[in-house]
Structure 1
Amino acid sequence: MVKRKVKLVNISDVESFNAICSKFDCDMDLSSGKYYVNAKSIMGIFSLDLDLPLELMADTEDEAAVEEAFREFIC
């Protein structure tokens, strides 16, 4: 499992982030505090408080692919 802190600032960021998540063949979750949502669900992402720190959890061992795909969002 690969975990990274991410920052989504606006609607455009959420849409881009969600599109990238959907390209992966593994489970991807996004957490904010005690709340966890499917990162492939745009409605789930919008249900989180984007002002709080977010953590992406990708159920893959390919750390390089996650780093490359999400480099603009990783804190």
Structure 2
Amino acid sequence: MYETTIQLNAINDVKDFVNKVMLFNYDIDLVSGRYAIDAKSIMGIFSLDLSKPIKLQAHTDDPEKLVESIGKYIVK
């Protein structure tokens, strides 16, 4: 499993992020506090507190293409 932290600042960021993660066949979750939601769900993402960075968990051993795709949202 691959873990990183992301930040989504605007509505368009959320739409773009979901469109990108939908292209991957493995599960990708966003974890904020005690809530874990499917990263491919726009409604789920809007239920989170987007003012803080969110932990991303990708259930894959090869996250290279995912990192390339969503790199601008990853918190360094």
Point out 4+ residue stretches in structure 1 off by more than 3 angstroms: none
Aligned to 1:6: 6
Aligned to 2:21: 21
TM-score (norm: length of structure 1): 0.94
For 1:25 and 1:42, the matched residues in 2 are separated by: 17
Q: Deviations along 1:39-65, whole A, 9 cap, x unmatched?
A: 011100000010122011111111211
Aligned to 2:56: 56
Cα deviation, residue 34, structure 1: 1.2
What value does the CA root-mean-square deviation take over the aligned residues? 0.8
Gap regions ≥5 residues in structure 2: none
